[in-house]
Structure 1
């Protein structure tokens, strides 16, 4: 080496060699400086350690909210702050016809369950109004919460979220039930831009944040999960009747395609065959008992059609099917539990059917457990179209094939270290407490997933009511989830999450519902999708052991759009108007009254003259939000 340096010096001269050395040193210094600037730093932490009340968990009520002298006037609005700034409550006009009005500040990384209790002893409810104004501390951004009424209506109690002071939209919602809390979720920053729960954000939300999550391991990306995902219907043509009803066994309302559209990426699939023939989803009490009780739901053919349609419409996502049960149901064979087990031919037939799932995750190994592999390994599959990860964990006899790796079908317990903790509690309160304790037993430290501190943790945020709880309508699994269990997540569960303590999957019933009676696109609930976007963007990014790059909310938005693999990584911002009846305006009409209530939207739900706003009677085609 010294010889070559001597030759170069004699040929080029010491001055030129000195200049080259200075240039090389300068380049290296700049590279090291840039690298340091792009690293996660503990001093960039923004999560507040301020102790905020979890808020109480309310007992479910019937769908709908009427006002009368005998009605319960309690109502709550939960605000979830996934921004770097404190949300400062700046007051508002004196609330009119409320017996309790309790709003307050929300620290960064926290949620507050705010109370707005209607005074039901007044003569007329039509002019009941309360306004809570907020400012994001250190910025010019403001927003308003308006609690009001809409008389008469199935949902007379209303809340309006006005984010016009943040350059975003306005949405009116009818409280889904008495005492039920409605959540507003806001994430983002001045540098990155803001995302909110007024409307579903990009349907392909993983692809939209590719640069944020691509290097994170699968276990460190938070996703919504669907419990008993195939039970959106009670099928009557499967050939099996297990006495299950919609109220006792139907955990979902949206079909598979639409569960994917509202953001769900993990699916608890219970798949059975019926009389040795076709495959169906099912919800049964015990898989290998002689005479199971329950019902069948969507057919496997329909589930496959749904996921294939989605991966065509919205490429780039990572979808997990965790397949359980794998038994046979036959109403004519109810005396011997051995009749439940599949034979080798049935197992082979099932795996062959799964080959119909397009864009499977093929070529993965467990040399590194799947939960410890980076997201880019999955998102980059199939020419950057993402993939569907099929994991099996059925009740198969020893000696039968548990997977077919070459086809992208993997044995779940072998390839994925997961904790699928079931609290087995009848009520939401006990379920929530157990799930939170389990979550907080993990410290996200990037240790081996087989160890005690950092696992693929599935937080089952659904209770297990007794049969008498849900036997007679209107009580049902979904109304308990929609009115009680799911709303509690945004204050009771969220306030126990932190950068070191978060779930991988939030498994729940009634995915994507806001009103259990409304299955239109206009009625889809965007809160869970926005919550997981915010948890990945804001919360997990502060844990430097699992996310090593600079916090995305401290980077300019353009910097997050540099990767060619990301394709359309920017989240789209909705700045229009959404009424409670589902009417959507792309832009607010000229002179639109943001503090008014509308008994009849016909005067404002059409394009105003001389503007480019477009009228939609339902939400926009979600394919435009890819």
Structure 2
């Protein structure tokens, strides 16, 4: 072969291999505009990145942007990007920034005025970045009450007591940490971190990120208590691993509530396993071991001591204000299986699961689409009103057996697979919610930021407090004046009218001028010719001018 050709082929091969080796990571930015203003792109710049921000993000839209650094030279580099959006009709703005200093990350920087209108008041929030995964930026509010954003406050219950305090427990939403004590492996029994760890940070951090309901699975080994993730593998016996010690769990919770008082925390005890029963693992615990476990858990500070001794059997009908008050200490409940004995101390914080009923169940699937279809269908069947029993939305992936044993590939671990579930949740959750149908618990693996907490806070703001939200929107009169090219569709009687090239004030439905029924406004934008957003308004006497339906892009 010609030496020149051989050299050229070798050089090309080297360059291709080098490009693949140093190709930068990519991921998705999910954006949900739940503010009363369109977001208009006013500035855009990028260097060594795939970065194509949307020109317009209309009210109520949920859009996805792919982000990729061209090169991966480590934690630091010169690749970066920035897109600035104005909230149309206001002097408010924010910028989304891609940075590569001390690790790759996506940041949101608010203008001073907008930062002051958020719950945290922070000017810059760090969304993080997940290679091949997604991060969420949501801004929800009406500009009168503080905006909810992806940066949830550590004391988010205290910060939102004006919204949730008057609601029953079964009416509100909160994040739930799946197998929360399995953030570390203290000993494996045929299992390892790859196929048994469900979290990546301790319970203290999970609390700081906003989780308030914890799935705890105790086992006792040589007199010591640990979290467990064990499964009965038939002829192989019980396999899996044990995780964090319950002593560390108690210390984590006590540390958090001393630093961040006034939060409601629920510990769910299940899947208990006796590892001191000779050479075998035995499901369940004898009564004496339950009492030992209770003694350990009674070292928790702020265990619930109700002010009223005349309590209903169904504790989910209690208002949040009956558990926590502004400036109060935290309250901790321990939900135990119905087959478990109550503690000898008769401490009221330990309650049987039948007194705090929860519907919804885990499904075994490795497919996020199957997970989504099944769980939301179940939600719609079981959660028919805010007064329905609490619904747990288990949003976890069960990796395939081949993936469970593929310990060399972190993307096939429980934590790795959780990334696909998270991406699906951020994409579709907003279109599955109504004022009657929403989850009370969103149960996830790998709580590593406060973005799931932000989703539950939006649910509490827009759905659990639907009447208050409608009053806000009715009072504000939706003063948005930049929408054009609107098509009006009357849906109550099938008639329709069309007004092209008109200003917003000519087409916006004001309650005093619209007949009874509902009205759809389908707004078409020439910059986004394939998109449409629907706004459902009510004009009954009870809900004149109020938004009844979610706004979304089609």
- TM-score for the superposition, normalised by structure 1: 0.63
Go from structure 1 to structure 2 and tell me whether the alpha carbon gap of 1:552 and 1:389 turns closer, same or farther (over 3 Å shift): farther
State yes or no: 1:180 paired with 2:127.
no
Alignment match, 2:218 = 271
- Structure 1 residues 18-43: Cα deviation after superposition (integer angstroms, max 9, x where no partner): xxxxxxxxxxxxxxxxxxxxxxxxxx
How far off is 1:170 after superposition?
3.3
CA distance in 1, matches of 2:434, 2:55: 21
How far off is 1:114 after superposition?
2.2
CA distance in 1, matches of 2:22, 2:84: 30
Aligned pairs (5 A) from 1:342-491 = 342-363=285-306, 367-380=312-325, 384-393=328-337, 396=339, 401=341, 406-443=346-383, 445-447=385-387, 454-471=388-405, 472-475=407-410, 476-481=413-418, 483-491=419-427
Alignment match, 1:215 = 166
CA distance in 1, matches of 2:312, 2:152: 38
CA distance in 2, matches of 1:76, 1:352: 46
How far off is 1:310 after superposition?
2.0
- Structure 1 residues 451-507: Cα deviation after superposition (integer angstroms, max 9, x where no partner): xxx2211111111112321331342211222x3222332222233223332111111
Go from structure 1 to structure 2 and tell me whether the alpha carbon gap of 1:75 and 1:137 turns closer, same or farther (over 3 Å shift): same
Which deviates more from structure 2 when the two are superposed, residues 462-471 or residues 127-136? 127-136
* SS of equivalent to 1:193: coil
- Structure 1 residues 594-623: Cα deviation after superposition (integer angstroms, max 9, x where no partner): xxxxxxxxxxxxxxxxxxxxxxxxxxxxxx
Q: Is the 8 A contact 1:403 1:411 kept in 2?
A: no
State yes or no: 1:530 paired with 2:454.
yes
Which deviates more from structure 2 when the two are superposed, residues 91-100 or residues 307-316? 91-100
CA distance in 2, matches of 1:498, 1:209: 20
CA distance in 2, matches of 1:94, 1:354: 54
Alignment match, 2:480 = none
* SS of equivalent to 1:384: coil
How far off is 1:374 after superposition?
0.8
* SS of equivalent to 1:176: coil
Gaps of 5+ in 2: 1-17, 116-122, 477-554
Alignment match, 1:22 = none
Go from structure 1 to structure 2 and tell me whether the alpha carbon gap of 1:490 and 1:67 turns closer, same or farther (over 3 Å shift): farther
CA distance in 1, matches of 2:77, 2:273: 56
Alignment match, 1:450 = none
Q: Is the 8 A contact 2:41 2:54 kept in 1?
A: no
Q: Is the 8 A contact 1:103 1:115 kept in 2?
A: no
1:78 to 16, 30, 33: 30
State yes or no: 1:232 paired with 2:183.
yes
* SS of equivalent to 1:232: coil
How far off is 1:432 after superposition?
2.2
Alignment match, 2:249 = 303
Alignment match, 2:38 = 87
Go from structure 1 to structure 2 and tell me whether the alpha carbon gap of 1:200 and 1:548 turns closer, same or farther (over 3 Å shift): closer
More strand by share: 2
Go from structure 1 to structure 2 and tell me whether the alpha carbon gap of 1:71 and 1:551 turns closer, same or farther (over 3 Å shift): same
Go from structure 1 to structure 2 and tell me whether the alpha carbon gap of 1:146 and 1:419 turns closer, same or farther (over 3 Å shift): same
Q: Is the 8 A contact 1:315 1:385 kept in 2?
A: yes
1:193 to 127, 146, 169: 146
CA distance in 1, matches of 2:112, 2:158: 28
Alignment match, 1:315 = 261
1:114 to 65, 69, 78: 65
Alignment match, 2:197 = 250
Alignment match, 2:6 = none
Go from structure 1 to structure 2 and tell me whether the alpha carbon gap of 1:420 and 1:261 turns closer, same or farther (over 3 Å shift): same
Go from structure 1 to structure 2 and tell me whether the alpha carbon gap of 1:365 and 1:495 turns closer, same or farther (over 3 Å shift): farther
Gaps of 5+ in 1: 1-65, 448-453, 514-524, 556-626
* SS of equivalent to 1:407: coil
How far off is 1:251 after superposition?
0.7
Q: Is the 8 A contact 1:104 1:114 kept in 2?
A: no
Q: Is the 8 A contact 1:78 1:183 kept in 2?
A: yes
Q: Is the 8 A contact 1:392 1:409 kept in 2?
A: no
How far off is 1:297 after superposition?
0.8
CA distance in 1, matches of 2:322, 2:183: 31
How far off is 1:185 after superposition?
2.2
Matched residues, number: 444
Q: Is the 8 A contact 2:177 2:443 kept in 1?
A: yes
CA distance in 1, matches of 2:337, 2:426: 31
- TM-score for the superposition, normalised by structure 2: 0.70
How far off is 1:273 after superposition?
1.8
- Structure 1 residues 238-261: Cα deviation after superposition (integer angstroms, max 9, x where no partner): xxx422211110111211222111
How far off is 1:414 after superposition?
1.7
Go from structure 1 to structure 2 and tell me whether the alpha carbon gap of 1:340 and 1:195 turns closer, same or farther (over 3 Å shift): closer
CA distance in 1, matches of 2:343, 2:349: 5
How far off is 1:193 after superposition?
3.0
Go from structure 1 to structure 2 and tell me whether the alpha carbon gap of 1:384 and 1:328 turns closer, same or farther (over 3 Å shift): same
How far off is 1:303 after superposition?
1.2
